[in-house]
Amino acid sequence: MTGKVLAVSARRGHHFSKTNALEIRLIAGLGVDGDAHAGVTVKHRSRVAKDPSQPNLRQVHLMHAELFEALRAGGFQVAPGDLGENVTTTGLDLLALPAGARLRLGDHAVVEITGLRNPCVQIDRFQPGLMAAVLDRAADGSLVRKAGVMGVVRVGGDVRPGDTIRVELPAGPHRALGVV
């Protein structure tokens, strides 16, 4: 399984959207260099309020560009970085990966997938109705979250648009992604 990096984004300070860049540097055990969500412990405000000592399982946010195409068809204007992701991918079904899958981004960086992003009310503040558009229902009635996946940096390195993404699946049995 392979895909490509379409865009990379980061931003200092806690803002919803991130700024596109020519490259980002991933730092093992921390996340995206210079990004507000980098760190060993949680940085998302709601999680810090509950327990600031929790491990940061959300160091890197990855989102598939194919979601943007579906959102545009629904009348939304969304571009890479707009929904807070650090890495926008194409050609790879991120949501179908199991927990523990490793993504080799470019020549060196490795991100281990920890779980699904749980979209929050900030998405509706960005564009009204967008929250409902990034959620769906499975045939069994369970909630399907489509707003990307989260991961931790296992091996650091620079990541650029155009880089290849190679998937390494964990030894089985595979665990479906849960919310982190």
Integer CA distances (angstroms), 30 to 5, 26, 39, 63, in order: 20, 8, 4, 19
pTM: 0.96
The residue ranges of every structural domain in the chain are 2-168
Reply yes or no on whether the pLDDT at 106 is more than 90: yes
> pLDDT by residue (tens digit) across 132-142?
999 999 999 99
Nearest-angstrom CA–CA distance, 102 and 112: 4
> Which residues in the chain belong to E strands, given as ranges?
2-10, 19-21, 24-27, 31-32, 60-64, 87-90, 102-105, 109-116, 135-137, 143-145, 149-155, 157-159, 164-168
Is pLDDT at 44 greater than 90 in this prediction?
no
Quick check: 49 pLDDT over 90? no
pLDDT at 120: 84
Residue 116 has pLDDT above 90, yes or no: yes
Question: Alpha carbon of 107 to those of 75, 154, 158: distances in Å?
Answer: 37, 14, 8
What average pLDDT does the segment 12-17 reach? Answer: 91
> pLDDT-derived band of residue 163, with 50, 70 and 90 as boundaries?
very high
pLDDT confidence of 46, banded at 50, 70, 90? confident
Average pLDDT over residues 87-104: 98
19-34 per-position pLDDT tens digit: 999 999 999 999 999 9
Residue 59, CB-side half-sphere exposure with 13 Å CA sphere: 29
| 84 vs 6: CA distance, rounded Å | 15
User: Looking up tokens 């919803």, which residue turns up?
Assistant: 16
Q: What average pLDDT is seen over the chain?
A: 95
**What per-residue confidence (pLDDT) applies to 132?**
95
| Domain topology for 2-168 | M1 Pyruvate Kinase; Domain 3 (2.40.33)
